[in-house]
Structure 1
């Protein structure tokens, strides 16, 4: 049995939710349909002609890409143009293309966490906060016999987290009253008779991103035909999602030493460095992709160096004048995300006894050659 396209995307979006992406980012399904079985998935950084040929050879049904295949509006799709030929080839071979970009950068365990992990950074924080999860309080009244069952159901669905503490709830004993009327099918009591039942008022916290899932789990676990519950907005701060990461090396090293570490960890043949080679560095900011405009964020965070791609000439001068070192491994360094995404999906397939497989692309999509 193979996974449906919508199921694959649902699991991917659990890892990299669409709502945490930067505004106007081109993410989601860009080509084809998800209304089909998916036997093979190719995970890639870019959708190039070589990547599409790789997908055809392996008979992939879906490409999951980090960079959009359609970023700017296309005035036309002419099949004698490079873009048109690429789209035509994908359509003819029924290969859908789904894009996870800044949501994959920002996600916990996503691109920027992978970069920080590759450099063994600790004490991580976001370079720029872009999304704070809204929280609600769920209050539900449960007969004593089912309180444990309902609590466990909502916790398993994602409720009950406050910071690094899970299974958080408040429970108060009380008496619930109700009278079943004609047409009802009461779990407790008889039609037309007022009932008094010992109940537990269970209160817990849930993020808006899992609200529907938690409510469904609560209703399924609850024995009553009509469940009494309330949802209240709260001012508690939920999880914070952000671009980039700032962390510390285990010990101070020279800028040259860090550059060598970056080159090896991100598997790049060359990189550009701004700053004196012997400059001591300990606090490091990382940001996948094009991060020139974030050098001031790195300065504000107290970083000694920013590791990011596509640094422009004037930003390099400004950072140098401000005392911030830069290491530019290029945009293609983001290729480190391919294997972890494929592995994450394969774990999901195995857990659900599905034969679908995800494979990291072996195509090098670096457009530059170093001479």
Structure 2
């Protein structure tokens, strides 16, 4: 199977038109006609990912976060992005990124399902052309919980070593908003949808206390903390759609540790 055929199938399920305008998705390096027998799924393109792609003799690498976000002026071994691209190209590994199109059509629903949210709504609609799709989900809980109980549930569901919580432990939670990845730009939308808590990542000090001041708690599960579910989800997608391929995955490894 050629790389282009795999891309066609991925984009049939996660069309490029659902990605944000600022995003950079698609084939970022390599050949469309590359014959693919082994594929590696990862969240990020760090040095460890590139090394596993090479040592695992994979033909194609698929990640959530793009290695190239903005135009590059050069590709050489004096820059860490250049070194990664060079190694992928030298080893004839085709590299494909699927970012906010997956956020809109996969990540949010999957995270909501894992939290057992019932009848979730889109938090921020980003596509109105042929469907009301968008970033994040918001839903009412069938049984209210405390903020402390909610934080414990998030830790368990996403297998996290810990979360950062802005709010009182005993605060009553009846409505949840979730934005996998970086959600500080969606605090206003969560407040508008009357969420009692926003579950997301990359929340700064001021965003957290300002949300609290408006009676909304925040559970910061980290950017990687929720989005690592991309790996197992895409592993299943590839196994279901390309049974002839050998699918490898990067081990879940959080980018920081808690002392």
Q: TM-score under structure 1 normalisation?
A: 0.67
Give the distance between the partners of 1:270 and 1:288, measured in 2 at CA. Answer: 16
Does the alignment pair 1:278 with 2:170?
A: yes
The residue number in structure 2 matching 1:120 is: 116
Q: Which moved more, 1:319-328 or 1:50-59?
A: 50-59
Question: 1:363 Cα deviation (Å)?
Answer: 5.3
Does the alignment pair 1:304 with 2:227?
A: no
Q: Is the 8 A contact 1:51 1:363 kept in 2?
A: no
The residue number in structure 2 matching 1:337 is: 230
Give the distance between the partners of 2:154 and 2:23, measured in 1 at CA. Answer: 28
Query: 1:14 is matched with which residue: 7, 12, 15?
Result: 12
Structure 1: gaps (5+ residues): 135-238
Give the secondary-structure state (helix, strand or coil) at the position aligned to 2:119.
strand
Task: For 1:89-108, list aligned pairs within 5 A.
Answer: 89-107=87-105
Question: 1:266 Cα deviation (Å)?
Answer: 1.1
Task: For 1:69-218, list aligned pairs within 5 A.
Answer: 69-107=67-105, 110-134=106-130
Counterparts in 2 of 1:67 and 1:8: CA distance versus 1, 3 Å: same
Q: TM-score under structure 2 normalisation?
A: 0.96
Q: Is the 8 A contact 1:343 1:358 kept in 2?
A: no
Q: Is the 8 A contact 1:256 1:277 kept in 2?
A: yes
The residue number in structure 2 matching 1:362 is: 251
**Whose strand proportion is higher, 1 or 2?**
1
Query: 1:348 is matched with which residue: 231, 234, 241?
Result: 241
Counterparts in 2 of 1:58 and 1:363: CA distance versus 1, 3 Å: farther
RMSD: 1.3
Cα displacement string for residues 54-84 of structure 1 (whole angstroms, at most 9, x for unaligned residues): 1112211111110011113323222133222
Give the distance between the partners of 2:230 and 2:155, measured in 1 at CA. Answer: 16
Counterparts in 2 of 1:363 and 1:303: CA distance versus 1, 3 Å: closer
Counterparts in 2 of 1:294 and 1:268: CA distance versus 1, 3 Å: same
Give the distance between the partners of 2:38 and 2:141, measured in 1 at CA. Answer: 39
Give the distance between the partners of 2:198 and 2:235, measured in 1 at CA. Answer: 28
Cα displacement string for residues 312-341 of structure 1 (whole angstroms, at most 9, x for unaligned residues): 222112101100000000001200111111
Give the secondary-structure state (helix, strand or coil) at the position aligned to 1:80.
coil
Structure 2: gaps (5+ residues): none
Q: Which has the larger radius of gyration?
A: 1
Give the secondary-structure state (helix, strand or coil) at the position aligned to 1:122.
coil
Give the secondary-structure state (helix, strand or coil) at the position aligned to 1:130.
strand
Question: 1:360 Cα deviation (Å)?
Answer: 2.4
Cα displacement string for residues 336-368 of structure 1 (whole angstroms, at most 9, x for unaligned residues): 111111111211123xxxx2232322152x322
Task: For 1:200-279, list aligned pairs within 5 A.
Answer: 239-279=131-171
Aligned pairs, number: 258
Q: Is the 8 A contact 2:199 2:218 kept in 1?
A: yes
Give the secondary-structure state (helix, strand or coil) at the position aligned to 1:129.
strand
